Amino acid sequence: MKTLSRIFLAATLALPVLSHAAFVPPVPEIAGKAYYLTDFYSGQVIAQKDADNRIEPASLTKLMTAYLTFKALHEKRLTLEQTLTVSTKGWKIEGSKMFLDPKVPARVDDLIKGMIVQSGNDACVTLAEAIAGSEEVFAQMMNAEARRLGMKNTQFRNATGLPDPEHYTTVHDLAILSASIIRDFPEFYPIYSMKSFTYNNISQPNRNLLLYRDPNVDGMKTGHTDGAGFNLITSAHRDGRRVLSVVVGTASPEARAAESSKLINYALQFFETPKLYTANKPVSTLGLYKGAKGSLNVGFTSDIFATVGKGDAAKIKSTIDIKQPLIAPVKAGQAVGKLTVTLDGKVIEERPVVALETVEEGGFFRRLWDAIRLLFK
């Protein structure tokens, strides 16, 4: 019969216990259609408005175009040195461009910078056609990748973000995508901090005004159409933390920068994100029946963080519930219990606890002896 055993764990923080609660003011008023503010390391939502309502992403679409490009590079279906020639469709496309020349092939490296820094629609179409054969097939790949990443309310129709009634997403889904780029392709993320890029003797500035104003900001992407308004995804880091904001539907380039800055500063000033547990470091060693060894190290395969009001870290409490008895065989990564993190009695994080090692079945006499032991347990 399976039962639960509970392990009470103090968060591994060498911090003084404060006698007063952290001061966290209300979320500032944001002049936009929707927004989403999250901590990158904990994944916890700090603030949101209409997070799952459909919105027009405009050029924020290019985050997914970039994600699939980075994936193609990682899988060696493209190389940075490879050259591509813009098609007639890409050359004639409307909207922002990096001004590709149909007579001069461009390096993939330059196309990526043109897509990210200059928001070039011609670069997006050229990359999409190289990866998928056509922009239409590439859009199908975008949708498949969105589903894989957990973007539940997104549908893409093109690689650029040009208006289409069936091309939509949410600020929640855009936050998932932004975090995925930073997590999965850190080697390419610095491109998002480039303040300008020159191609074909034409220099264009990055339209993210916060790159010039806030030293903590190092990405990510702007977007605009008449229907969408002015959109901005911002990533900022300070004191070992990283926060992400998505703000859409503002009135101007200045407004999207100002409203995004409000959210980023709110997160960095009034919250903290301590690390509670380290990846692949055992948090407990548990008894194991019928195994080649009688114990099992358990923990987490990724670092565990929690975001709380600044000053509240020392009040975090953790418990782990383990399904007992644990019986071999057990595979590394197999869930064996659940971590619950609370603050003042409120659950702020839940994660599966997993086996950190594989333990095969023991020999006949070990299994027989443990079967007898289990009869009396």
108-146: per-residue pLDDT in tens?
Answer: 999 999 999 999 999 999 999 999 999 999 999 999 999
Separation of alpha carbons 118 and 90, rounded Å? 15
Query: CB–CB of 139/156 below 8 Å?
Result: yes
Give the per-residue pLDDT at 2: 58
> In this structure, are strands 284-287 and 295-299 parallel, antiparallel, or unpaired?
antiparallel
User: Which one, of 177, 65, 77, lies nearest residue 123 by Cα?
Assistant: 65
For Cα atoms 169, 153, 173, give the angle at the middle one, nearest 5 degrees: 60
The pTM assigned to this predicted structure is 0.91
pLDDT band for 68, please (50, 70, 90 cuts). Answer: very high
Give the per-residue pLDDT at 16: 39
Average pLDDT over residues 293-317: 95
pLDDT band for 292, please (50, 70, 90 cuts). Answer: very high
Separation of alpha carbons 54 and 47, rounded Å? 18
Q: What's the chain's average pLDDT?
A: 94
Which one from 62, 97, 221, 262 is the annotated catalytic residue? 62
62 carries an active-site annotation: yes
Which one from 42, 59, 87, 235 is the annotated catalytic residue? 59
What are the residues whose beta carbons fall under 8 Å from the beta carbon of 183, sequence distance 6 or more? none
Average pLDDT over residues 309-316: 94
Separation of alpha carbons 346 and 319, rounded Å? 13
The backbone torsions φ and ψ at residue 66, rounded to the nearest 5 degrees and listed phi first, read -65, -45
252 carries an active-site annotation: no
Which one from 42, 87, 96, 119 is the annotated catalytic residue? 119
Give the per-residue pLDDT at 58: 97
203 carries an active-site annotation: no
